[in-house]
């Protein structure tokens, strides 16, 4: 047997396992609750607990990897929308998307804090990258006149986080309507 | 010695102690952090731990009493504003007040959940009373044309809770600006 080829197969397998563990972990920890454990992740991913620990030596590292992947994906989506023809639509659509999938992201963020935090770690850096991308989307939307000029990233991000927290609750209909209120508030206001 | 009189003095003392313990508990648990304990409350209130436990047999009951008092006070303030000359100003001022003092309220709510919860307890009932009072303020503000007619209490309350959570964070300036955005979104919108 070709040793190099077999090594490559093992690396590909390991990579596939890693991705599968992250997918399952995102679902399990996103759901939250008592049964959200590394053991449950291993069971649903169909791998041994040792395999999970080989990739992610601690629960905090596993949660961190899940969060980093989510933040990176959102950032990439935001960056892809920077070239959109209608910057206002791009900004509001992206805001809505982030809030819509926030429920799980927030559960995972809080699980990470419980598991020993990520102060100044990978997830923090990934979150900062996402924040910068949102800032770029906001700036383009403001230049296009679709978002009022007198708001800046800190308050827009505060609203994004606040509505994401609200979305993690139960009242989806209220959340959608709350989003409408905030979007109207973000649009250029009348001659007042 | 007059036994009735002495009994009355003891009752007055006990009442004063109870109020003092609640004041200190609100401060200590509102601040949060590691040192937030019943022992710390007793020490700062200048009473023995036994006195605290006589009034509040568990930490959950103490936290519950603090929350009930805060919700009741806010509800009374809301009810007092129902007769205001300018219902729009009353509504927006009250919204701003609730968000402004939310930082401590939320820390206490979360401490209560950690300490064993209040599902369907006194704090839940007091919170429902506050919600009803906010609903009445909203209705008056809508009747006066100061708040758009197409929003209802669920989304207004979702925004109130979301912004209160945001206020419990660090970025006060961003919070104030976020409030402006939400208030503009709540006002009757142009002929769109």
For residue B189, which residues of chain A lie inside 8 Å, CB to CB?
Answer: 184
Please report the residues numbered 144 through 163 in chain B whose beta carbons come closer than 8 angstroms to any beta carbon of chain A: 151-152, 154-155, 157-159, 161-163
Q: Where are the domains of chain A?
A: 1-57, 59-192
Out of 1.10.10, 2.40.128, 1.10.3470, 1.10.3680, which CATH number does the structure's domain B1-57 have?
A: 1.10.10
Tokens of A21: 């563990």
Confidence of residue B5 (pLDDT cuts 50, 70, 90): low
CA A146, distance to chain mean position in Å, is 25
Q: Are residues B184 and A183, on separate chains, in Cβ contact within 8 Å? A: no
Handedness of CA A75, A81, A86, A89 (dihedral sign): negative
Tokens (6 digits) for B106: 């939320």
User: What pLDDT, in 10s, does the model give residues A5-39?
Assistant: 677 777 777 788 899 999 999 988 887 766 788 99
Q: Which residues of B touch A175 (CB under 8 A)?
A: 155, 158
B89 with B69: CB under 8 angstroms? no
A59-192 has which CATH code?
Answer: 1.10.357.10
Q: What is the pLDDT at residue A22?
A: 94
Question: For residue range B168-190, what is the model confidence (pLDDT) as tens digits?
Answer: 765 667 778 888 899 999 988 87
Dihedral angle sign, alpha carbons of residues B75, B81, B83, B89:
negative
Q: Report pLDDT for B123.
A: 85
Would you give the distance in Å from CA B108 to the centre of its chain? 9
User: ipTM of the predicted structure?
Assistant: 0.73
A39-91 residue pLDDT tens: 999 999 999 999 999 999 998 899 889 989 988 999 999 999 999 999 999 99
Lowest mean pLDDT among A101-105, A155-159, B162-166, B168-172: B168-172
Nearest to A19 by CA among A52, A57, A59: A52
Which residues does A61 contact at the CB level (< 8 Å), separation at least 6?
A: none
Q: How far apart are CA B184 and CA A147, in angstroms?
A: 13
Query: For B18-48, how does the pLDDT look when each residue is reduced to its tens digit (9 = 90+)?
Result: 999 999 999 888 877 667 889 999 999 999 9
Architecture of domain B59-187: Orthogonal Bundle (1.10)
CB burial readout A65-83, b (16+ within 10 A) else e: bbbbbbbeebbeebeebee
Distance CA(A161)–CA(A130), nearest Å, equals: 12
Q: How many Å apart are CA A68 and CA A73, to the nearest integer? A: 8
């Amino acid at each position: 047997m070709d040793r190099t080829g077999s090594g490559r197969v093992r690396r590909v397998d390991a990579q596939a396992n890693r991705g599968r563990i992250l997918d399952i972990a995102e679902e399990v920890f996103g759901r939250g609750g008592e049964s959200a454990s590394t053991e449950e992740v291993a069971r649903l991913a169909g791998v041994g607990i040792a395999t999970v620990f080989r990739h992610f030596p601690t629960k905090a590292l596993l949660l961190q990897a899940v969060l980093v992947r989510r933040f990176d994906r959102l950032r990439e989506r935001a960056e892809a929308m920077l070239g959109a023809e209608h910057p206002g639509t791009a900004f509001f659509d992206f805001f809505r998307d982030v809030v819509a999938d926030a429920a799980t992201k927030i559960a995972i963020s809080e699980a990470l804090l419980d598991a020993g935090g990520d102060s100044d770690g990978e997830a923090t850096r990934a979150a900062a990258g996402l924040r910068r991308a949102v800032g770029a989307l906001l700036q383009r939307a403001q230049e296009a006149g679709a978002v009022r000029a007198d708001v800046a990233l800190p308050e827009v991000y505060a609203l994004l986080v606040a509505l994401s927290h609200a979305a993690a609750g139960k009242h989806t209909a209220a959340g959608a309507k709350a989003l409408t209120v905030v979007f109207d508030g973000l649009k250029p206001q009348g001659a007042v």
